[in-house]
Structure 1
Amino acid sequence: MTDTPAPPRPPIVVLCGSTRFWDQFADAALYETAAGRIVLAPGCNLREPHPLWDTPEKAEQLKRILDDLHLRKIDAADDVLIVNPGGYIGDSTRREIAYARSLGKPIRYTHPTPDHP
């Protein structure tokens, strides 16, 4: 039996952006997966009703958890893809971009922005 080296790990990309673009996240995940990348993305859409966040208190507690979890996904990723239809980037996404930049992560955008054509 010969030992063959494991193939290199595929690149990991994390999707960032507003969950108001939930359908565009799914589309970006599809294209990134088809390109051979491991995709990390938001796992909850707090804009859709669910018992896990059906009160303001539960929603706020979960949002804090999710915000920190998403930063850990950025830590684990090789690069970041900002899902930003129409060039939209909200405050949370701006913080994630700043965090990714502080780590030296390459950042791509699904749509041009004034700062990133």
Structure 2
Amino acid sequence: MKEFKVEKDSVEESYRWAYGWRVVDGKCSPPAMNFPLPDFVQARIDWASHEMQAGMGLTFQGAFRALLDIDDEKSIREDWECWGLSEYMPVSDKYREWLQDPILHDIRRVAVMVGFIYA
């Protein structure tokens, strides 16, 4: 049986990315503003967010698929090439490893969704 070791800081950090809301100057501040996601994660969120803001038909479901369903990258790329405005952004090994962490994958998926919604 494979043993996994998770650093306490890593667990706390992952939860802050999803649930780290604060009030700043009397206004609600989302987690990614208070606890920035890793650059390679934020870059992928920004890529999908830019495409959605362009108003060319990318839905939340399509964006979440491109951000989270990374095991089916061939299909995601094919769909993107049909309707995307920008070039497809391949999933980096670093992003894949981070998102598919054997213990923290669920909370990191939530962090990506929250980061995208409030981008």
TM-score, structure 1 normalization? 0.31
Q: 1 or 2, which has the higher strand percentage? A: 1
Rg larger for: 1
Q: 1 or 2, which has the higher helix percentage? A: 2
TM-score, structure 2 normalization? 0.31
Using CA pairs under 8 Å that are at least 6 residues apart, name the structure with larger relative contact order, 1 or 2: 2
